[in-house]
Amino acid sequence: MGMFILRRVGVMLLTAFCLTFIVFFMTNLYPNLEKLAKTQGNFRMSDEAVVSYLTREGYMAPLPVKYGRWLGVLPNHVFTDEDGKVTGKCIREGVNTPETAPAYCGVLQGEWGYSSVFKEDAGSIIAKRLGLTGWLALAAFAVMIPLALIIGVLAGMREGSRTDRSLSTFSIASSATPEYVSGVIFIAVFASSAFGLRWFKGSSTSAMDDITFANFTLPVATIALYGVGYIARMTRASMAEVMTAQYIRTARLKGVSFPNIVMRHALRNALIAPFTVIMLQFPYLLTGVVITETLFNYKGFGWMLVQAASNNDIDLLLGGSVVAVFVVLVTQLISDVGYVFLNPRIRIS
């Protein structure tokens, strides 16, 4: 198991390196850099002024050099601004000077860059927005997973029954309804004064910096409703397959009660396939809730990525991509390890 995890970690690091390099390459294409220069300077800047700005900031360096500086494995780019002041990525006013600033300053050293939109360190912005999305994901997960497993197990226990057909219809309808549809319906029904639920009002327009039950309920319900159907369908299919297995029939012939058959024999094997699907919900809850966060003006991690992409905030976008890649790879590693524990037939060489 130790060698298996070690190999998976090695593959994970290599994958992270490749993915971050691709994102870095895409964000550092010249049209993006030109837009950044004009955003920071003047939209009427000439081509010569744009090139001068990008050269001074270090964006015109070769791509491997820029990537190495961003990672922190190559020395930082130091330049002199228009006023003759020596500055650079590692130099912070009131913190250090060009003489005391570290030579290496990148992601590996904890330096995420500076957000050109929020005018703040990208690391602090990512931490704050990630925390907001974390609470949203935790609440949605707490509602979605138990409900989906209960629906899937109940539907799969007696395949073809009326309960199975009813719950399967609900699961299909839930997974087929996108967030921007269910979210709008929730806003129209609960955030209006038609039913006298005025305490819900403002959940779609508030700043969402202060989480309350009123402005937190509808985003959680929107996310959970979409995820419940998908996980429930996977659980139902797995449970129905397990219930037809030979060892289940043998247990029935021996007179084992139906609840014991389900809880002691069928449930563990039925959860093997849904476990992978459940682990894949973590990356979705981090970056896939962009629509929900935008719809309800919930200023979390997904909302931050939209703002960074639409405003060409390169440092913030790159920092967000690192976090997203890390979460995807770690959850995939946990999924692989958990799959081995749930399925005793798998042997690791």
pLDDT digits (tens, 9 = 90+) for 237-291: 888 888 888 888 888 888 888 778 777 777 777 777 787 788 778 777 877 788 8
The model's pTM is 0.76
Q: Which of 99, 116, 133 is the last residue of a domain?
A: 116
88 and 4 inside one domain: yes
Q: Quote the CA–CA distance of 56 and 62 in Å, as a whole number.
A: 14
User: In terms of domains, do 128 and 93 share one?
Assistant: no
In a domain, 295, yes or no: yes
Confidence of residue 25 (pLDDT cuts 50, 70, 90): very high
175: in domain:
yes
Same domain for 103 and 177?
Answer: no
Q: 25 and 66 share a domain?
A: yes
Contacts of 24 (CB under 8 A, 6+ apart): 63, 66, 67, 70, 318
Retrieve residue 52's tokens.
């001068």
Tally Cβ neighbours within 10 Å of residue 284: 17
349 located within any domain: no
Greatest alpha-carbon pair distance for the chain in Å reads 88
Are the C-beta atoms of residues 290 and 301 closer than 8 Å to each other?
A: no
pLDDT for 88: 67
- CB < 8 Å & 24+ apart, contacts of 69-75: 69/106, 70/24, 70/106, 70/107, 70/113, 70/318, 71/106, 71/107, 71/108, 72/104, 72/105, 72/106, 72/107, 72/108, 72/109, 72/111, 73/104, 73/106, 73/108, 74/104, 75/103, 75/104
120 secondary structure, DSSP code:
E
The structure tokens 């920071």 sit at: 40
**Is 347 domain-assigned?**
no
pLDDT digits (tens, 9 = 90+) for 112-127: 888 888 888 888 899 9
Examine the domain organization and report whether 159 and 278 are in the same domain: yes
Query: Within this chain, do residues 92 and 184 fall inside the same structural domain, yes or no?
Result: no
Mean pLDDT for all residues in the chain: 80
Do residue 96 and residue 160 come from a single domain? no
From 101, 116, 131, give the residue that closes a domain: 116
First and final C-alpha spacing in the chain: 9
Query: Same structural domain for residues 88 and 145?
Result: no
Can you read off the two tokens belonging to residue 97?
Answer: 């000077």
Q: List, in sequence order, the alpha helices (H) in the chain.
A: 2-27, 30-40, 47-57, 63-71, 122-157, 162-176, 179-190, 213-243, 246-253, 258-260, 267-270, 272-287, 290-295, 301-310, 314-342
3 state DSSP class of 203? coil
Residue 318: pLDDT over 70: yes
| pLDDT for position 22 | 92
Task: Say if residue 98 is in the same domain as residue 161.
Answer: no
Instruction: Give me the half-sphere count of Cα atoms (radius 13 Å) on the Cβ side of residue 290.
Output: 13
- Inform me whether the pLDDT recorded for 155 exceeds 50: yes
For tokens 């190495």, the residue is 68
Q: Do 103 and 158 belong together in one domain?
A: no
Classify residue 56: in a domain, yes or no: yes
In the chain, % of residues over pLDDT 90:
5
Helices 63-71 & 2-27, crossing angle to 10 degrees?
A: 130
Residue 348 domain-assigned? no
Q: Are residues 101 and 130 in the same domain?
A: no
145 shares a domain with 79: no
Domain of residue 70: give its range. Answer: 1-116
Distance CA 8, CA 1 (A): 10
Residue ending a domain, choose from 116, 141, 160: 116
CATH number, residue 262? 1.10.3720.10
Number of domains composing the chain:
2
How many whole angstroms separate alpha carbon 96 and alpha carbon 349? Answer: 52
Q: Is 300 within a domain?
A: yes
CB 224 within 8 A of CB 144: yes
- Residue 45: the pLDDT is 80
CA–CA gap between residue 90 and residue 264 (Å, rounded): 58
In a domain? residue 256: yes
Quick check: helix, strand or coil at residue 7? Answer: helix
